[in-house]
């Protein structure tokens, strides 16, 4: 399974906002030019990021600003703001109960899948937007 590009684009948006918000007016067109996507995609993601309390968007040409310090925004916050899937894996729904594997697959896999999800979220929670922005070489 592969997630959409919403997470990586949203992260790109937030790094741009973090790096440039005090230097230039960070508009959806400005962001779209950095990401090389249509500004509509950026505006849709800005709406999700705003709903999650990560950015403030001032209408018109007002620009976009972080809604809280970059040190307080993690990759997990970004991921949860923009990805619709809540779990990393979607388990197939009807394994054959007559098959020895089918009748036991949930017992075999459920805890492991939960552990993998927890490990991913733990890693994402340890990386902040501020850390990412430090990697930008202007």
pLDDT tens per residue across span 74-110: 999 999 999 877 677 777 888 999 999 999 999 999 8
The Cα 30–Cα 58 span in angstroms is: 14
Residue 36 lies in a domain: yes
Q: Residue 136: which pLDDT band, with cuts at 50, 70 and 90? A: very high
pTM of the predicted model as reported, rounded to 2 decimal places: 0.85
Residue 14 lies in a domain: yes
pLDDT of residue 61: 67
Residue 1 lies in a domain: no
Residue 116 lies in a domain: yes
Residue 63 lies in a domain: yes
Give 63's strand partners: 58
Residue 70 lies in a domain: yes
Query: Which residue stretches of 21-128 are H helix?
Result: 28-35, 39-51, 75-82, 105-125
Residue 49 lies in a domain: yes
Angle at 4 between CA 38 and CA 105, to 5 degrees: 170
Tokens 């959409």 map to which residue?
A: 4
The pair of structure tokens assigned to 22 is 């005090």
3-state helix, strand, coil in the chain (%, to 5): 55, 5, 40
Residue 13 in contact with residue 46, Cβ under 8 Å?
Answer: yes
pLDDT of residue 11: 97
User: What total number of domains does the chain contain?
Assistant: 1
Q: Residue 3: which pLDDT band, with cuts at 50, 70 and 90? A: low
Reported as a single tens digit per residue, the pLDDT across 18-35 is 999 999 999 999 999 999
Residue 105: domain span: 6-134
Residue 29 lies in a domain: yes
The pair of structure tokens assigned to 110 is 């459920």
CATH of the domain at 79: 1.10.10.10
């Amino acid at each position: 399974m592969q997630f959409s590009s919403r997470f990586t684009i949203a992260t790109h948006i937030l790094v741009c906002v973090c790096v440039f918000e005090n230097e230039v007016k960070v508009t959806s067109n400005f962001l779209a030019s950095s990401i090389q996507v249509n500004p509509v995609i950026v505006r849709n993601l800005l709406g999700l990021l705003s709903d999650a309390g990560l950015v403030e968007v001032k209408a018109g040409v007002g620009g976009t600003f972080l809604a809280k310090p970059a040190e307080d925004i993690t990759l997990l916050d970004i991921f949860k703001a923009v990805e619709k899937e809540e779990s990393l894996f979607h388990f197939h729904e009807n394994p054959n109960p007559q098959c020895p594997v089918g009748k036991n697959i949930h017992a075999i896999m459920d805890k492991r899948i939960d552990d993998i999800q927890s490990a991913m979220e733990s890693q994402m929670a340890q990386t902040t937007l501020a850390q990412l922005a430090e990697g930008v070489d202007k």
